[in-house]
Amino acid sequence: IARAIIIGHSFGGAVTTAFARQHPQKTLGLVFLAPVSHPWPGGATAWYYKLTAVPVVGWLFSETIAYAAGMLRIGNATACVFSPNNVPKGYIGKASIPLVLRPPAFRANARDVARLYDYVRAASPGYREIKAPTLVISGDRDKVVYATVHSVGLEHDIPGAELVWVANLGHKPDWIAPDLVVGAIERAAGAPVDLQSMASVVESRIAGDAQGADRYPELKVPDAELAPG
């Protein structure tokens, strides 16, 4: 493949920006889905990622506790990721989600997440170098990443980037709005696709979604003073 459209979801947002900066000649376009890309106030990540990244102790945790505890919580955690949208039937099995809990994979993922904040803090000033056509799809009800930090940041920092906000969409546009994602890919390839109209269709389809409304609080950006200097 001489030139490709690179698509990144969540943590994959940071990978996508890295590819675009390191291989501009191979990058035809970029599509970001609920991405992580910028330093966020406080820089916090889940405690189990930090613990797993600790030498020796993290190995013991991942080998003895993480899989069993993760399997007990996998349904609830998945519902939170999708909230307020409904989890597609059979998603956990179809997407092979339990594979991430295998000890070696869990440790590798934990090391990546533990280092993510420092990476995006160093990398994000270079996003202005990116010249590829860029589309960003984000939901205003994302409960996993701060959309107003990352998605808005990409729109601001990458010249010509277009941000498509989708009302009542959570963290999984790849499963909840696949038609919009395909449209963004086509747009990045140069097709005359009206993404705002497509987003309106998605919004109408998911307007009544309220899965987890009483269990998963809205994700609010912490106060700016919590951010490290």
Within this chain, do residues 66 and 171 fall inside the same structural domain, yes or no?
no
CATH code, 150: 3.40.50.1820
- How many domains would you assign to the chain? 2
In total, the chain counts a number of residues equal to 229
Which domain-ending residue is among 97, 117, 137? 117
pLDDT of amino acid 221: 75
Final residue of a structural domain among 117, 136, 159: 117
Residues 112 and 205 both lie in one domain: no
Do 112 and 155 share a domain, yes or no?
A: no
DSSP conformation class of 88: P
Verify that 197 and 185 share a domain, yes or no.
Answer: yes
Residue-wise DSSP of 144-191: SS-HHHHHHHHHHHSTT-EEEEETT--S-HHHH-HHHHHHHHHHHTT-
Co-location of 135 and 216 in the same domain: yes
Q: For tokens 């420092």, name the residue.
A: 118
Last residue of a domain, one of 90, 117, 144: 117
Q: Do 105 and 10 fall within a single domain?
A: no
Cα diameter, the chain: 53
The token duo for 94 is 């179809």
Q: Cα dihedral angle (33, 35, 195, 162), rounded to 10 degrees?
A: -150
179 in the same domain as 135: yes
Residues 152 and 176 in one domain: yes
User: Which tens digit of pLDDT belongs to each residue from 99-141?
Assistant: 999 999 999 999 999 999 999 999 999 999 999 999 999 999 9
Distance CA 191, CA 210 (A): 34
The candidate with the shortest Cα–Cα distance to 111, out of 59, 174, 165, is 59
What tens-digit pLDDT sequence spans the chain (229 residues)?
A: 899 999 999 999 999 999 999 999 999 999 999 999 999 988 888 888 888 988 899 999 999 999 999 999 999 999 999 999 999 999 999 999 999 999 999 999 999 999 999 999 999 999 999 999 999 999 999 999 999 999 999 999 999 999 999 999 999 999 999 999 999 999 999 999 999 999 999 999 999 999 998 898 888 876 544 333 3
Range of the domain at 158: 4-41+121-226
Q: What is the pTM of this model?
A: 0.91
CA proximity to 75, closest of 99, 100, 89, 92: 92
Q: Does 105 share its domain with 160?
A: no
Q: Please tell me the predicted confidence (pLDDT) of residue 170.
A: 95
To the nearest 10°, the Cα dihedral for 157, 174, 16, 43?
A: 70
Claim to verify: residue 33 and residue 129 sit in the same structural domain? yes
In this structure, the answer to whether residues 26 and 125 fall within a common structural domain is yes
Give the pLDDT confidence score for residue 43 in this predicted structure: 85
Do 25 and 66 lie in one domain? The reply is no
